[in-house]
Amino acid sequence: MPWMIGTVLKNLFSTPPTRRYPYEKRESFAGSRGNITWDAGRCDMCNDCARVCPARAITLKPEKHLIEYDPLKCIYCGTCAETCLQHAITQHPLYAAPQAEHASRITEVHHYRY
C-alpha cells in the first residue's frame, strides 16, 4: 500500500477534472450549431427553409402569416439558416433547454415584401 501514497497525495491537492455542473457551464465550442430563431421582419415567406429542411421541422402558413418550427424534430443542421436569402434565420451556439412537452415555436410574420 505505500506505493499508493504518491497517487493519494496528488489527488488530494489537484483540481477536479470535471466541472461542478450545473454551477459551472461549459462555453460552446466554436462553430457549434444550436438554437434556431427567426427575424420575422426579414422573412418574405418564400418557403425555402421549409423546402430544404431534412427533418421537416418547419411549416409555413402564409394565409395566417405564421412560421411553425418544431424543435423536437430539428436536428440543428443549419441548412435553413444557410439557405435563407433574407438572412431571417439565425442559429445560435447554445442549444435550447430540454422541453417536458411537445410544443412548436411559432413566429408571426407581419412584413410581407411582395
Do the Cβ atoms of 76 and 23 come closer than 8 Å? Answer: no
The answer to whether 68 contacts ligand SF4 (rule: CB under 6 A) is: no
36 within 8 A of 93, measured Cβ to Cβ = no
**Segment interacting with ligand SF4, rule: CB under 6 A, options 3-11, 22-30, 54-62, 93-101:** 54-62
Rounded distance between C-alpha atoms, residue 90 and residue 35, angstroms:
8
Shortest Å distance, C-beta 26 to ligand SF4: 22
Query: Positive or negative, the Cα torsion across 111, 106, 86, 95?
Result: positive
CA distances for 97 relative to 15, 18, 78, angstroms: 29, 21, 18
Number of neighbouring beta carbons within 10 Å of residue 34: 13
Using CB under 6 A as the binding rule, whether residue 75 contacts ligand SF4 is answered as: yes
Q: Which of residues 17-36 bind ligand SF4 (CB under 6 A)?
A: 36
Name the minimum Å distance from CB 91 to ligand SF4: 7
- Residue 90 engages ligand SF4 in binding (rule: CB under 6 A): no
**55 touches ligand SF4 by CB under 6 A:** yes
Q: Which residues bind ligand SF4 (CB under 6 A)?
A: 36, 38, 43-49, 53-55, 57-58, 60, 74-80, 83-84, 86, 88-89
